[in-house]
Amino acid sequence: MTKTKKLTFWESVMLVAGAGIGTGIITIPYAISQIGVFGAATALLSAFVISILTYLILADLVRNSTQSDDLIGALTEHLCKGKGRKFFSVLFLVLLALLLLEFLVVYSLCAGDVLSDLLGISRAVSILIFYFLASLIVFFGVKGMGVGEKISVLLIGAVVIVLTVLAFFHKNGSFPLTFGNPGKVFAVYGLFMYSMSSTFAVIQTCNHIEKPEQTGKAIIAGTAVNAGITAVFSIAVIIGSKAVTETATIGLSDGIGIPFVKVLCSILIIGAMFTSFWSIGFAFSDVVSNRFKLDTRLSWLITTVPAILLAVLLPLSILNYVQIGAGALSIVFLAVVFPAYKHAVSNPIQPPLLGKFSGKWPLILFVVIGTVLMAVSSLIPVS
Q: Which distant-in-sequence residues (6+ apart) come within 8 Å of 312 by Cβ?
A: 123, 124, 127, 128
DSSP 7: B
Domain borders along the chain are: 9-377
Cα 291 to Cα 307: distance, rounded to the nearest angstrom? 19
Do 18 and 279 touch, CB atoms closer than 8 A?
yes
User: What pLDDT does 2 receive?
Assistant: 41
DSSP 333: I
CATH of 9-377, one of 3.30.390.50, 1.20.1740.10, 3.40.50.1000, 1.10.3210.10: 1.20.1740.10
Helix axes 37-63, 361-377, angle to 10 degrees: 130
Render each residue's pLDDT in the chain as its tens digit; 383 residues.
344 578 999 999 999 998 878 767 777 999 899 898 999 999 999 999 999 999 999 999 999 998 777 788 888 888 877 666 777 778 778 877 877 887 788 888 888 888 887 888 888 899 999 999 989 888 788 888 888 888 989 999 999 999 999 999 999 988 888 998 999 999 999 889 888 888 889 999 999 999 999 999 999 999 999 999 999 999 999 999 998 887 787 889 889 988 888 889 888 888 888 988 898 888 888 888 888 888 888 999 999 999 898 888 876 555 555 556 656 666 777 778 889 999 899 888 888 999 888 989 899 999 999 988 888 887 787 76
User: What pLDDT does 1 receive?
Assistant: 39
User: What pLDDT does 329 receive?
Assistant: 65
Cα 284 to Cα 70: distance, rounded to the nearest angstrom? 9
pTM: 0.87
User: What pLDDT does 214 receive?
Assistant: 96
User: What pLDDT does 229 receive?
Assistant: 93
